[in-house]
Amino acid sequence: MDSSLESSTSSNGNPVRCRCRTCKVIVIGDAGVGKTCLTHRFCTGQFPSRTEATIGVDFREKLLDLEGEKIKVQLWDTAGQERFRKSMVQHYYRNVHGIVFVFDVTNPTSFCNLPMWMDECRQHSLGLDIPCALVCNKTDLVTSPTASVLIDQARHLAEVHGMSFYTTSAKARKGDLVDSIFVTLAQRLKSQRRESVNELVLQCRSESFNIPAKIITAQESKKKWTCIC
């Protein structure tokens, strides 16, 4: 995550500047699955009264306070339509901290296309080892029982790739999980950072004990416990 100085308001109403971390999260998926509505809903609390196909990318952001730490979630709401995304693709995938894949529960093709979106991430050197979420949107429109088969398949896909999975609706007011998608992602990024700080501490310790040319990271120490017989 990147660090920056942010303006906010203190309890006595005076503006204060505080250090905050910014995480870039891209939201991708087929055209019309609800990426704009989900990001709009998270940032404003409202379902937009009308939307148009996104051209290139729209930016939205929200400042979160996670256990006293300010995290700015910068959402890149990308275009699903090929003709509106071509020129922007290189920019989407640069310095990404988290990915939200979206499909529409009423549109099975948007689910079938998810591997294509995952491939595009890989082609831009973005592994699914960074925090990712899979969102099954428009559950307010679910009427047919076949939707539950699609939801089960999606849950399985998310499990296989180690992603968080959400069934939600950008439109429904009650019982939806729109905020959780992005807050949980930010929490995962925050704890990931704590882990990398721990790795650094471990590295400093190894150096202060004068262990030459050997940086012991948490990853390496984990490897040491792997049986090789």
Ligand X SMILES: Nc1nc2c(ncn2[C@@H]2O[C@H](COP(=O)(O)OP(=O)(O)OP(=O)(O)O)[C@@H](O)[C@H]2O)c(=O)[nH]1
Binding residues vs ligand X (CB under 6 A): 31-37, 51, 53-54, 79-81, 137-138, 140-141, 169-171
131 interacts with, out of Mg ion, ligand X, none, CB within 5 to 8 A per kind: none
Is 154 within 8 Å of 111 (Cβ atoms)? yes
106 interacts with, out of Mg ion, ligand X, none, CB within 5 to 8 A per kind: none
Toward Mg ion, which CB reaches closer, 36 or 139?
A: 36
137 interacts with, out of ligand X, Mg ion, none, CB within 5 to 8 A per kind: ligand X
Look at the block and give the residue holding tokens 């089960």. 152
First to last CA, the chain: 39
Toward Mg ion, which CB reaches closer, 35 or 188?
A: 35
Toward ligand X, which CB reaches closer, 82 or 129?
A: 82
Residue among 81, 80, 63 at smallest CA distance from 22: 63
Per DSSP, 88 falls in state G
Residue among 94, 66, 82, 29 at smallest CA distance from 186: 66
Burial 1-32 (b: 16+ CB within 10 A, else e): beeeeeeeeeeeeeeeeeebbbbbbbbbbbbe
Which of the ranges 32-40, 63-71, 118-126, 141-149 carries the binding residues for Mg ion, by CB under 5 A?
A: 32-40
Look at the block and give the residue holding tokens 């009308």. 50
Toward Mg ion, which CB reaches closer, 69 or 120?
A: 120
Structure tokens at 168: 């939600």
**Shortest reach from residue 125's CB to Mg ion, in Å:** 25
For Mg ion, the binding residues in 44-103 under the rule CB under 5 A are 54
8 interacts with, out of Mg ion, ligand X, none, CB within 5 to 8 A per kind: none
85 interacts with, out of Mg ion, ligand X, none, CB within 5 to 8 A per kind: none
**Shortest reach from residue 185's CB to Mg ion, in Å:** 19
Residues in the chain: 229
Is 29 within 8 Å of 103 (Cβ atoms)? yes
